[in-house]
Structure 1
Amino acid sequence: MWLSDAMPAESAPRSIRIAAVADTHLRPAVAGRFRPDFLRLAEHADVLLLAGDLTEGGTLADADLLRAEIADLPVPVVAVLGNHDHDRRLGFRISAQLSGIGVHMLEGTAVTLELNGIRLGVAGVMGGSGGFPGYPGTPDEGTEEHRTRMRRGPLDAELLRQSLDTLDTDVRVALMHFSPVIDTLAGEPPRIYPGLGCHALGEAVDAGRAALAVHGHAHGVPNSVAPQAESLPAMSHTRSSVARMPSTPSPRHKRGRPEPTPHAGSQGGAAAHL
């Protein structure tokens, strides 16, 4: 679990507690492992963000297991899908299943939630690969799946920027599956960085003036907690991979050149404060 306190610039006493989870890879072997902590979320968080690869095989049966984990939670849930959720080309149906229980599913779209008197805006995409400066992608090599992800990275980055721009909120958060920076990929082999994210996503996050960016997809970073673990203590800071830079308030509070945004990778779960 990844937790963050997000505060608008002019209202320091107020805050929103954000919990984030990614790469749950729901399947029969891990069914039920998350539910106890999810039911306690209201003690520690005001909203739950799910950053993709929610199912292991992208099947409707896996999606049903996920529904059982997150149904009737005490806090709003906002989610994007990951590459595993599209394995069977059933992403739209999985999104519909989750929307049916009240999850705010984002795909180049955004949602506004009012929490503790603060308007929180979340824009989300799956994202894709494409590489980073010094770690360029190879769009013409590899499998068709690889080439598709390479094409999708920059396209989803533009959708993310546009979605962030639609938000007139106190706090903006960017939610995606693929990484927008290499800073949160430490622990993964550098040779696979190009397949884990896209610098265009990071540029979109900064251009859209998000106060926080949350992603998943990378599994090898320090302190990772895999879904097959015996327990996943959501509130014990189980995993945190955060690249911190000065936070930029929403344009509602500050105009001018956007500053770099804090980015958090969240596989299994972690906690931090913004």
Structure 2
Amino acid sequence: MAEANGNGLDGAPLRVAALGDIHVREGQDPGPLRALFAEIAQSADVLVLAGDLTDTGSPKEAELLAEQLRAASLPLIGVLGNHDYECGKVDEVKHILCNAGLKLLDGSSCEVNGVGFVGVKGFPGGFGARMLGAFGEPAIKTFVSESIAEAMQLENAMRTVKTGRSLVVLHYAPVPETVEGEPREIYPFLGSSRLAETIDRFEVDAIVHGHAHRGSYEGRTPRGCPVYNVAWAIPKPTGRPYALLEI
């Protein structure tokens, strides 16, 4: 990735609305979400969804969300979250959401108006010197291997981005600052520094993630890249469930 400064040298700033942890479930009133997407379409150029799009990962929940997404009149980009895997129907969920126009990033990238979007779901593992290491029982090694594999997918995807401006989309947190407010005992299950270590090898404008419903809105990677927790419940400068960023 070329150096990115978000100053519009590659074009006008792209307005990105970012939102995570929608948790669409059966039986809920679709009206508020439809109205929110319509509102976002008036103020943003792209909508980014940072995982946990459904509550249990059922195809029915995915269809309910797809109905709302089809009404959104702007590009849609996102990643899945842990809840989207719960029912074991993730391939069906992906198919439904992609048919509704959502570009799902799973170790992949895309470009909108000169801005590169790259993403993975991510995985837990802990932060800094307290990251879990691949030592001991096979189950621990398998857990850490999954965390490393997600970081490697992210790195491979980032190498494909050729634009001067870029946004990384995750579900799990890459830094501890944006999970502050959650019980400290569950920090290792909310994200992993391996994600930030990977991202900091590149020049990136911003990172968005979800998952930590009681976390904090803003943090930075060790190299200084801004990180935004855009989970629905997190208070944001917009005063709305979504963040609005200019890239």
Q: Which of the five TM-score ranges fits, normalised by the shorter chain?
A: 0.7 to 0.9
Decide whether aligned partners of structure 1 residues 85 and 10 sit closer, same or farther in structure 2, where only a CA change above 3 A counts. closer
TM-score using structure 2 length? 0.85
The 3 A distance-change label for structure 1 pair 148 and 175 is farther
- Superposed CA deviations along residues 26-76 of structure 1, whole A, max 9, x for unmatched, are 102434131101012222111001111111111001101111221131110
Indicate whether 1:271 and 2:243 are aligned. Answer: yes
Please give the secondary structure, in 1, of the residue aligned with 2:111: strand
Match of 2:165 in 1: 171
Closer/same/farther in 2, CA of residues 92 and 43 from structure 1, 3 Å limit: same
What amino acid is the match of 1:83? N
Instruction: Provide the rounded CA distance (Å) in 1 between the counterparts of 2:159 and 2:61.
Output: 34
* Structure 1 counterpart of 2:132, from 137, 148, 156: 137
Offset, 1:103: 1.0
Q: What is the correspondence of 1:173-252 to structure 2 with a 5 Å cutoff? A: 173-221=167-215, 241-244=217-220
Structure 2 distance, partners of 1:133, 1:259, is: 13
For 2:127, give the aligned amino acid: F
- 8 Å CA contact 2:67–2:100 kept in 1: the answer is no
- List runs of 5+ in structure 2 lacking aligned partners: 233-240
Which one-letter code corresponds to 1:23 in the other structure?
D
* Counterpart AA for 1:271: A
- 1:56-135 alignment to 2 at 5 Å? 56-114=55-113, 119-135=114-130
Distance 1:272 1:73 in 2: 16
Tell me the alpha carbon deviations over residues 188-223 of structure 1, each in whole angstroms, 9 at most, x when there is no partner: 01111111101010111111322111111111125x
| Cα distance in 2 for residues equivalent to 1:90 and 1:148 | 22
Cα RMSD over matched residues?
A: 2.6
- The answer to whether the Cα contact below 8 Å between 2:10 and 2:164 also exists between their aligned partners in 1 is no
Residues 221 and 164 of structure 1, relative CA distance in 2, 3 Å threshold: same
Instruction: Please identify which structure carries the higher helix content.
Output: 2
Change (3 A) 1:101 1:263: same
Equivalent of 2:23 in 1, 19, 25: 25
| One-letter amino acid of the counterpart of residue 80, structure 1 | V
C-alpha separation between the residues in 1 aligned to 2:172 and 2:142?
Answer: 14
Q: How far does the alpha carbon of each residue in 1:149-168 deviate from its partner, in whole angstroms, 9 at most, with x for none?
A: 54322211111111111111
Q: Who is 2:46 aligned against?
A: 47
8 Å Cα contact 2:26-2:60 kept in structure 1: no
Matched residue SS, 1:30: coil
CA distance in 1, matches of 2:43, 2:136: 45
TM-score, scaled to structure 1: 0.77
Contact 1:7–1:16 (Cα < 8 Å) also in 2: no
CA deviation after TM superposition for structure 1 residue 147, in Å: 7.5
Q: Which residue of 1 aligns with 2:224?
A: 260
8 Å contact kept, 1:49–1:78: yes
Secondary structure of 2:61's counterpart equals helix
Mapped contact 1:135–1:193 kept (Cα < 8 A)? no
Cα distance in 1 for partners of 2:105, 2:157 equals: 10
Secondary structure at the residue paired with 1:208?
A: coil
Amino acid at match of 1:103: L
Please give the alpha-carbon distance, in whole angstroms, between the structure 2 residues aligned to 1:55 and 1:147: 29
Q: CA deviation at 1:136?
A: 3.0
Summarize the Cα distance change of 1:148–1:61 in structure 2 as closer, same or farther, 3 Å threshold: farther
2:37 — aligned with what? 38
How far apart in 2 are the matches of 1:21 and 1:150?
28
What does residue 234 of structure 1 align with?
A: none
Deviations 1:65-101 (A, max 9, x none): 1112211311100011111101122112211111112
CA contact (8 A) 2:16 2:46 kept: yes
Q: Residue 225 of structure 1 corresponds to which residue in structure 2?
A: none
